[in-house]
Amino acid sequence: MLNKKNELKTIVFFLFITLILSCSNDNSNNLPPNDEPNITPNEIIKIPVVIHVINPPSDPFSISDEKIQSQIDVLNQDYRKKNPDHIKTPQEFKNLVADVGIEFYLAETDPYGVPTSGIIRTESDISGFSGKDLTGKLPIEDYKLFFTNKGGQDIWPRDKYLNIYIASLMDKWGKLGFAGYAYSPGTDPRIDAVVIDPRVFGTLPPLEVNYDLGRTVTHEIGHWLNLIHVYGKDGSCEIGDEVADTPNQKHQNLGAPAHPKSSCGSNDMFMNFMDRVNDNSMYMFTKGQKERVRNLFKKGGLRRQLYLNNK
């Protein structure tokens, strides 16, 4: 009887040890997860884009799927240093020209996981001006462009998509009021988008003269990616664009300047995408601008979640 008790104790003891070892091994699955992945220097960051087309039935504009794709192609050239005209960069700036390492593509699924072309078309007589308040007094709810129930289109989640709105920015005299605008990182998520007039979008007609290479969108997405105009605060040589390798310049440049053009004791980098020259006169980002943009997607950056959701 005693031997049987001892055998039973031995069996229980080994079962206990086995259980302890088993639980110890299982604990390896409960260790804290590895740190979130960070961006490697040569990593290509890919951003899905949703195009919200809001076309006025009273005065419709032309914006084909092919024209929209032509703009995506331009972005993937300009942000990857694949645009052929970057070779026109003056010698003094050539070593600064950067491949920003960002690519864009039309979204393939909507926020609910349903397949999409990435192009959403609706009709409404509201204009692109309804997404911006120059007075600074309107509540966000009055930015009609970004609300379906007010004639616009609800924005898709900014932590998953870049939202681009194509809407008319023609003034009451039938001229282009301004070509486009963008909201910078950290803005209200209900309006975190880029807004562009169809006549400066893509490379297929109809297009405005001097705005026919898709560079308006390259420029405005630069703002969405936290870049400032290279002329900083217009009229000041002291307040630049917070990027070390872009020379301070006193004013914006327009049209088609000839290099060298100087201000603030140095030559202006007017060929930078963040000045305001004609499309065929802008063709480069700098290494400093690249670093500023990519910092958005690193730990603590304002567009970090967009990176993680599309990793």
Q: How far does Cα 284 stand from its chain's mean position? A: 17
The torsion angles phi and psi of 245, rounded to 5 degrees, stand at -95, 10
Set 220, 238, 242, 291: catalytic member: 220
Closest CA to 214 of 121, 288, 283: 283
- Among this protein's residues, is 220 annotated catalytic? yes
Cis geometry, peptide bond prior to residue 206 (ω within 30 degrees of 0)? yes
d(CA 284, CA 273) in angstroms, rounded, equals 6
At how many degrees (to 10) do helices 215-224 and 65-78 cross? 60
The torsion angles phi and psi of 292, rounded to 5 degrees, stand at -60, -40
Contacts of 17 (CB under 8 A, 6+ apart): none
- 104: which DSSP letter? E
The torsion angles phi and psi of 28, rounded to 5 degrees, stand at -60, -25
d(CA 81, CA 290) in angstroms, rounded, equals 11
Closest CA to 218 of 83, 55, 23: 83
CA count, 13 A, side-chain hemisphere, 20: 6
Contact (Cβ atoms closer than 8 angstroms) between residue 201 and residue 68 = yes
The torsion angles phi and psi of 74, rounded to 5 degrees, stand at -60, -45
> How many distinct helices (H) and strands (E) make up the chain?
5, 8
Give the catalytic positions in this structure.
220
